[in-house]
Amino acid sequence: MTKVLVLYYSSYGHIEQMADAVAAGARAGGAEVDIRRVAETAPAEVVTAAHFKTDTAHPEIEGPDALADYDAIIVGAPTRYGRMPSQMAAFWDTTGGLWMRGALVGKIGGAFTSTASQHGGQETTLFSILTNLLHHGMVIVGLDYGFKGQMGVTEVLGGTPYGASTIADGDGSRQPHQTELEGARYQGKRIAEMAAKLK
Ligand SMILES: Cc1cc2nc3c(=O)[nH]c(=O)nc-3n(C[C@H](O)[C@H](O)[C@H](O)COP(=O)(O)O)c2cc1C
């Protein structure tokens, strides 16, 4: 069976919800799916003062070597100033050994993200994730235009050809829209199908 990993970081739960949707899509695409989060590296006082969401059902990734067990890896992270958060970057900074061995070469990779504002850095954040996957030799699958929900300008919505996305608003009050969750499911399913084809 094709094995897919959804690896994410989320401070306030938007990306966690998107991760669940990506995973549901990958399962619908026939894959066995694990959802793992990367370690929180912010100091405890920051986590408390900034009201990060700390309760989650998803276990932390065991370590970088775990990545080698999967046929596809889909990485989700909210933006920090237009790029991925240091929590996610710190994890990828531990994958040098995998890179040396070429352990991820030829696997399928994808990314999804969240920003506070509509133009707060969705594409740049996605590419800050995708560059890591490309350096590992992974084959990128985005959110293709078969997903019609990313078209149209009458509603404020996430969704980019580079990966699924949502918009949280400045106070985090906006929750992922059904169309954005559909985009996440679509990308997860597409990646599972592509991974099965390459296996
Ligand atoms: C330090 C910091 C920097 C941020 N920078 C941006 C930014 O450049 N653009 C933006 O739209 N949102 C920015 N945000 C908002 C987060 O992206 C938003 O809280 C996140 O998308 C919500 O996802 P989550 O619930 O999964 O954490 C920033 C948040 C923090 C804490």
What does the pLDDT look like over 49-108, one tens digit per residue? 999 999 999 999 999 999 999 999 999 999 999 999 999 999 999 999 999 999 999 999
Give the C-alpha separation, 126 to 78, whole Å. Answer: 9
The residue whose CA is least distant from atom 29 of ligand 1 is 80
Site residues for ligand 1, CB cut-off 6 Å: 10-15, 78-82, 114-117, 120-121, 168, 172
Quote the ligand 1 centre to 169 CA distance (angstroms).
9
Query: How far, in Å, is the centroid of ligand 1 from the Cα of 79?
Result: 5
Secondary structure letter of residue 166 according to DSSP: E
113 and 163 in contact (C-beta within 8 Å)? yes
Single pTM value for the model:
0.98
Per DSSP, helices labelled H in the chain are 14-28, 44-49, 86-92, 96-101, 122-135, 178-198
Instruction: Give start and end residues of each alpha helix (H) in 61-177.
Output: 86-92, 96-101, 122-135
